[in-house]
């Protein structure tokens, strides 16, 4: 009898919780952010292997490097082909978020002797967390990273209109914070859209990731901040 009562109570409790989460959208949204399956990428074999690989490479990395960190937009950035001068190290990983960069900061970045640090991240963040949460993570990264000069590269436009609105909000939130948080904001967003606000043709191959020409535009946009340590390779 006691066992049956216990089962009945559990069924009622589960039913109540299901009803509560379905009705209360704010609580459901909170749970989606707090226990989001997106964070599972941190345990993905490719992601973990990339973190381990970068950590191993850091043991033999040259001093005074210019370091780029972020998601797949950074991972695909051909820094060796486009930049010359001081060593440029790519520490981008596909699917990464501000939280991911924050968690691997010591393993992949702070154990380097960095002259300049560039961060480009946010595309994946705003799919799963609020703009405010993403901006806070980005600001926290800059407060913890060890580099002489620190730069945030504005998140680039996307073909998805709703996503694009959130990107602009995130960019503005980070830009506003850069004034007194010890890093510089580099606005490249405008270089990738036309006068009507549409993405420029030929600069993206899938509505998110830059083409070779797109990456050349990024390099040009960073030229002033990179000088005199790094210069652009001429085609």
Whether the pLDDT of residue 63 is over 50: the answer is yes
Neighbouring residues of 205: CB distance < 8 A, sequence distance ≥ 6: 211
* 140 and 165 together in one domain: yes
Pair (15, 70) in one structural domain: no
* pLDDT band per the 50, 70, 90 thresholds, residue 127: confident
Cis peptide before 192 (omega within 30 of 0): no
Q: Same domain for 69 and 83?
A: yes
Same domain? For 101 and 161 the reply is: yes
Q: What is the mean pLDDT of residues 220-231?
A: 92
DSSP-derived secondary structure letter, 145: -
pLDDT in tens, 108-124: 999 999 999 999 999 99
Predicted confidence (pLDDT) at residue 29 exceeds the cutoff of 70: no
Same domain, 179 and 203: yes
**Two tokens, residue 186:** 């580099």
Q: What integer is the mean pLDDT of 35-64?
A: 87
Owning domain of residue 17: 2-35
pLDDT number for residue 2: 54
Whether residue 138 contacts residue 123, with contact meaning beta carbons closer than 8 Å, is answered with: no
Residues 88 and 134 reside in one and the same domain? yes
- Give pLDDT tens digits for 66-110: 999 999 999 999 999 999 998 999 999 999 999 999 999 999 999
Number of domains into which the chain is organized: 2
Among residues 54, 134, 137, 57, the alpha carbon closest in space to that of 103 is found at: 137
Query: Are residue 127 and residue 18 in the same domain, yes or no?
Result: no
Helix residue ranges per DSSP H, the chain: 2-23, 25-34, 45-58, 72-75, 79-82, 98-103, 105-108, 125-128, 131-144, 161-178, 212-226
Q: Would you say 186 and 171 are in contact if contact means Cβ atoms under 8 Å apart?
A: no
Cβ neighbours of 203 (radius 10 Å)? 20
Residues 202, 93 share a domain: yes
Assign residue 82 the CATH number of its domain. Answer: 3.40.50.1110
């Amino acid at each position: 009898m006691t066992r049956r009562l216990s089962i009945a109570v559990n069924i009622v409790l589960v039913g109540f919780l299901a009803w509560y989460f379905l009705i209360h959208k704010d609580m459901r949204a909170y749970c989606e952010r707090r226990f989001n399956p997106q964070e599972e990428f941190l345990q993905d074999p490719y992601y973990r292997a990339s973190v381990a690989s970068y950590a191993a490479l850091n043991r033999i990395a040259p001093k005074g490097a210019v370091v780029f960190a972020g998601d797949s937009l950074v991972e695909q950035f051909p820094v060796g082909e486009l930049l010359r001068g001081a060593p440029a190290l790519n520490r981008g990983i596909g699917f990464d978020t501000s939280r991911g960069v924050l968690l691997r900061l010591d393993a992949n970045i702070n154990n380097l002797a960095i002259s300049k640090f560039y961060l480009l991240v946010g595309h994946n963040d705003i799919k799963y967390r609020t703009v405010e949460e993403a901006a806070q993570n980005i600001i926290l990264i800059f407060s913890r990273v060890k580099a002489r000069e620190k730069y945030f590269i504005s998140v680039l436009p996307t073909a998805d209109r709703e996503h694009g609105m959130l990107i602009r909000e995130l960019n503005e939130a980070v830009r506003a914070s850069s004034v007194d948080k010890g890093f510089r904001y580099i606005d490249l967003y405008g270089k990738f859209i036309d006068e009507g606000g549409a993405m420029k043709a030929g600069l993206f191959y899938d509505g998110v990731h830059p083409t070779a020409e797109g990456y050349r535009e990024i390099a040009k946009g960073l030229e002033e901040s990179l000088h005199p340590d790094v210069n652009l390779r001429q085609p």
